[in-house]
Amino acid sequence: MKMRVKSAREFGRVAVLMGGWSSERQVSLWSGEAVHAALVRRGVDATAVDASREKILNLRSQGFERAFIVLHGPGGEDGVVQAALELQGIAYTGSGVAASAIKMDKVAAKRLWRAEGLPTADFRVLETEADAKAAARTFKFPFVIKPCAEGSSVGVSIVKKPAQVAAAFRLARGPGRAVMAERFVQGAEMTVAVLGRTALPSIRIEPDGEFYDYHAKYISDKTKYRCPSGVSKATEQKLGELALQAFALVGARGWGRVDFILDAKQKPWLLELNTVPGMTSHSLVPMAAKAAGYSFDELCWAVLESSLP
């Protein structure tokens, strides 16, 4: 791996932004602790910051020159924190304001991908329970109801029968969230990490449970990950190309992860893009990076380098 930065001193004082105020706070704390420890091992002057709005707005006055963003979900992954850092002149890892905002709105990202001809399942925005029932008639059962702007599968339901529609809508709506329905695509759950302009090896996910929900992602030790994923060379290439296209179309940069469903005909369908993926012991980007020859510490260093011009 070719390093752009030879000395940790070149990064200056780095704030590892973690925690935050979204529903993914605990996952972010786990990720941030791992990243902070890795950077310290590499000699970076890094400080773990359990982020609040006040702390973020005062990073420059605290002497920080750079931020490694490990804030998942709304607040940290939607462009809000990125904008606050730009106002202070603080460099940061990952995607900028616009790309972060677009990717956080799953509907906006899917509209963009579809306009450019990328494969993503049919969808519609839901305002009411009546809309959800109409979506059931359109998509048939099973279909998916989920929040438009959450991560870690928070509020996601696979709806199998009419009696489940109302509860699934209420779960996705939560405290005033926008909600969407999506056609269910049967197939293997796949993910491709992006580092710089490179697609890392794909991972096949075999979740402990019906789908790759919060429990399967962060709690269960029974979820299985296949990397190499076992797909053909042609499918691996197609997954990588689609991941890079999806990444580029929203204007993402630095690093991220693109999730797919691979159907029975080996056609990949885009699910969503993550611009601040998890960095926990169960997380997928470190797994793919390891398959590509990166240690966890090297991965964190490479991500930190994405904050450079």
Q: Which of 259, 283, 294, 307 is flagged as catalytic?
A: 259
- In angstroms, rounded to a whole number, what is the distance separating the alpha carbons of residues 52 and 30? 16
Spell out the alpha helix ranges (H) of 145-232.
Answer: 165-173, 214
Q: Which of 20, 22, 23, 24 is flagged as catalytic?
A: 24
User: Catalytic site residue 155?
Assistant: no
User: Catalytic site residue 24?
Assistant: yes
Domains within the chain, CATH numbers bracketed: 8-94 (3.40.50.20), 103-119+185-294 (3.30.470.20), 123-183 (3.30.1490.20)
pLDDT confidence bin for 2, thresholds 50/70/90 = low
- In angstroms, rounded to a whole number, what is the distance separating the alpha carbons of residues 211 and 207? 6
User: Catalytic site residue 218?
Assistant: yes
- In angstroms, rounded to a whole number, what is the distance separating the alpha carbons of residues 201 and 248? 18
pTM higher than 0.85, yes or no? yes
Q: Which of 152, 153, 202, 229 is flagged as catalytic?
A: 152
User: Catalytic site residue 257?
Assistant: yes
Query: Among candidates 191, 189, 171, 193, which has minimal Cα distance to 181?
Result: 171
User: Catalytic site residue 157?
Assistant: no
* HSE-up of residue 183 (Cα within 13 Å, Cβ side): 12
Q: Across the strands, what pairs with 211?
A: none
**Residues 143, 118: contact at Cβ < 8 Å?**
no
Query: Among candidates 306, 277, 72, which has minimal Cα distance to 193?
Result: 277
- In angstroms, rounded to a whole number, what is the distance separating the alpha carbons of residues 207 and 192? 16
pLDDT in tens, 237-255: 999 999 999 999 999 999 9
Q: Which of 212, 214, 218, 294 is flagged as catalytic?
A: 218
pLDDT in tens, 275-303: 999 998 678 999 999 999 999 999 999 99
User: Catalytic site residue 116?
Assistant: no
pLDDT confidence of residue 280: 83
Average pLDDT, the chain: 93
User: Catalytic site residue 272?
Assistant: yes
